[in-house]
A and B are shown apart, each in its own frame.
Chain A
């Protein structure tokens, strides 16, 4: 077995000396699809930003693709929490995807000769992979949330990453689009051998797709199969408060608790964590 894509040992995160979570030891293997779950403000986005090298661990060690996380690693594709664009925005989907190929290169718009052709090809391939060919040349402001989300995904894919970090790609989508998006990510992960770490509020659209879930809450992080982690016992320990996991006839899991604020997994607040 090759080295793990993500290896965390005794990892803790925080801002300004204030710990958000700590004591996380886990590994993510090549080709794994991991969902990061947990209540608002638990530090799910913080974990992604740490993997990207945008913030440092408070303590412990973290390796991504065999090295200390560094900004600008081309092997990592990142889709932050959905950005909104006003209907006026002229920017087209294809132009957004193109930025994923060479937006970090200095110089004017077009590359020379074969490099330009290759860049165009990479953009086309990525757009086809997410099934957005029919609307990619429309303006971002005139697309639905689901259409935009697919183009953000295409932008991340265009640089051909090995590790894909997705922050709340299912937020603000209706149920049908949530499962379509989740299936698309699962399909891309398995067909391309991509490792995916996806932050979500709700495990249910992802339950049959992910290999493991990583649950982040006030008292720690637990990683494992969904039906091992999302249980009354484990979550009550992680929250440090009594919560109950209800399982319905289709094996969907719902977390309910005495403290709604802490435990409600469907809480799609406007001021999501990580917006800072």
Chain B
């Protein structure tokens, strides 16, 4: 399964990296991993800000049905992932903004999609490896077409996010005032969920359905603790997601545990480290003045 069959780590970083990148499948993995991690890190900032982690979780599981469906009809898994995630995102985004209702509808969409996914893998006569690769990612197996499509989709998501950045920030932090200032809060919710669906679809290829938070939540949650200014937090989130992906790919290439395990572990480590750093900083110079809490 692992790439360690091809090469052994030599503890000379430059040589190891160039050796690793001499394999075309590793070039594909790095290219796809980088663009997807960038998009996931950026979109992830809004996932954390808007507390949409449950929606991200659900969309990735909806992607499972999409991936299984694509295998069934023998098209590239990314098409199925995109179709299902974006469709479900539109449904989730279209429903009311009340948290309670939203959670229930998201849960029902998630449950129905998993049921469909189970049906698809039941009908599908291929190998269990395909199912595993949807659940846990299959970055080393990514083909050229999927790399290009992932790059296009990720870039498109980031560009759209840039265009709606300010109103989306307003609607996320302060929806009531935003509404009064004529920001289309409802339409932005649908737009954001669609962007999230697209990002989830491409990220599932890297870390899989079950480890999606490694790229979509953990880096942003870590970044939010390290940087408060939105632009800085977004940049930090993207940087952490890319770093986790790069180091994860490197370790996955030279050592036997799978890449998604490394990325998930690194992302968890980044979050814990950020918590530690921010709580130390808070206890130090940044402490609020005594008695200023009301």
Most buried by B among A90, A100, A108: A90
Q: B44 to chain A: closest CB distance in Å?
A: 13
- Bound-state CA distance A110–B231 (Å) is 9
Which residues of chain B (166-212) have a CB below 8 Å from chain A?
Answer: 166-167, 169-170, 173-174, 176-183
Q: B143 to chain A: closest CB distance in Å?
A: 33
- Bound-state CA distance A185–B27 (Å) is 61
The answer to whether A96 and B183 touch across the interface, beta carbons within 8 angstroms, is no
Residue total for B at the interface (Cβ-Cβ under 8 A)? 32
The answer to whether B183 and A91 touch across the interface, beta carbons within 8 angstroms, is no
> Contacting chain A: which of B9-17, B123-131, B157-165, B253-261?
B157-165
- Bound-state CA distance A79–B176 (Å) is 9
Which residues from chain A contact B180 at a C-beta distance below 8 Å? 52, 54, 71-72, 76, 78, 80
- Bound-state CA distance A91–B225 (Å) is 10
- Bound-state CA distance A223–B227 (Å) is 49
Q: Which residue of A lies closest to B51 (CB)?
A: A86
Q: Which residue of A lies closest to B181 (CB)?
A: A104
The answer to whether A106 and B167 touch across the interface, beta carbons within 8 angstroms, is yes
Q: B35 to chain A: closest CB distance in Å?
A: 19
The answer to whether A107 and B163 touch across the interface, beta carbons within 8 angstroms, is yes
The answer to whether B167 and A103 touch across the interface, beta carbons within 8 angstroms, is yes
Which residues from chain B contact A52 at a C-beta distance below 8 Å? 180
Which residues from chain B contact A142 at a C-beta distance below 8 Å? 282, 288
Which residues from chain B contact A146 at a C-beta distance below 8 Å? 294
- Bound-state CA distance A270–B167 (Å) is 30
Residue total for A at the interface (Cβ-Cβ under 8 A)? 42
Which residues from chain B contact A145 at a C-beta distance below 8 Å? 294
The answer to whether B228 and A104 touch across the interface, beta carbons within 8 angstroms, is no
Most buried by A among B163, B170, B181: B181
Q: Mark B275-294, 1 if CB is under 8 A from A, else 0.
A: 00000001000001000111
A26: Cβ under 8 A from any B Cβ: no
Which residues from chain B contact A222 at a C-beta distance below 8 Å? none
A253: Cβ under 8 A from any B Cβ: no
Q: A143 to chain B: closest CB distance in Å?
A: 8
The answer to whether A139 and B228 touch across the interface, beta carbons within 8 angstroms, is yes
Which secondary structure dominates chain B's binding surface? helix
Q: Mark A83-121, 1 if CB is under 8 A from B, else 0.
A: 100001011100110011011111111100000000000
Which secondary structure dominates chain A's binding surface? loop
Q: Which residue of B lies closest to A172 (CB)?
A: B294
Q: Which residue of B lies closest to A92 (CB)?
A: B228
The answer to whether A104 and B49 touch across the interface, beta carbons within 8 angstroms, is no
The answer to whether B173 and A96 touch across the interface, beta carbons within 8 angstroms, is yes
Q: A236 to chain B: closest CB distance in Å?
A: 34
The answer to whether A83 and B176 touch across the interface, beta carbons within 8 angstroms, is yes
The answer to whether B178 and A103 touch across the interface, beta carbons within 8 angstroms, is yes
The answer to whether B294 and A173 touch across the interface, beta carbons within 8 angstroms, is yes
Which residues from chain B contact A102 at a C-beta distance below 8 Å? 166
Which residues from chain A contact B178 at a C-beta distance below 8 Å? 99, 103-104
Q: Mark B226-262, 1 if CB is under 8 A from A, else 0.
A: 0111110100000000000000000000000000000
A174: Cβ under 8 A from any B Cβ: yes
Which residues from chain A contact B174 at a C-beta distance below 8 Å? 83, 96, 99, 103, 155
- Bound-state CA distance A174–B173 (Å) is 25
The listed residue (A72, A78, A109, A139) touching B165 by CB distance below 8 A is A109
Q: Mark B99-114, 1 if CB is under 8 A from A, else 0.
A: 0000000000000000
Q: List 27 A-B contacts (CB under 8 A).
A: A71-B180, A71-B181, A78-B176, A80-B180, A83-B176, A88-B224, A90-B233, A91-B228, A99-B169, A99-B174, A102-B166, A104-B170, A105-B166, A106-B164, A106-B166, A107-B162, A107-B165, A108-B165, A108-B166, A109-B230, A110-B231, A135-B288, A144-B292, A147-B292, A147-B294, A155-B174, A156-B177
Nearest 10 pairs of A and B residues by beta carbon: A72-B182, A103-B170, A144-B294, A80-B176, A90-B224, A104-B181, A78-B180, A99-B170, A144-B293, A108-B162
Chain A residues close to B by CB (< 8 Å): 52, 54, 71-72, 74, 76, 78-80, 83, 88, 90-92, 95-96, 99-100, 102-110, 135, 137-139, 142-147, 155-156, 173-174, 177
Chain B residues close to A by CB (< 8 Å): 49, 162-167, 169-170, 173-174, 176-183, 224-225, 227-231, 233, 282, 288, 292-294
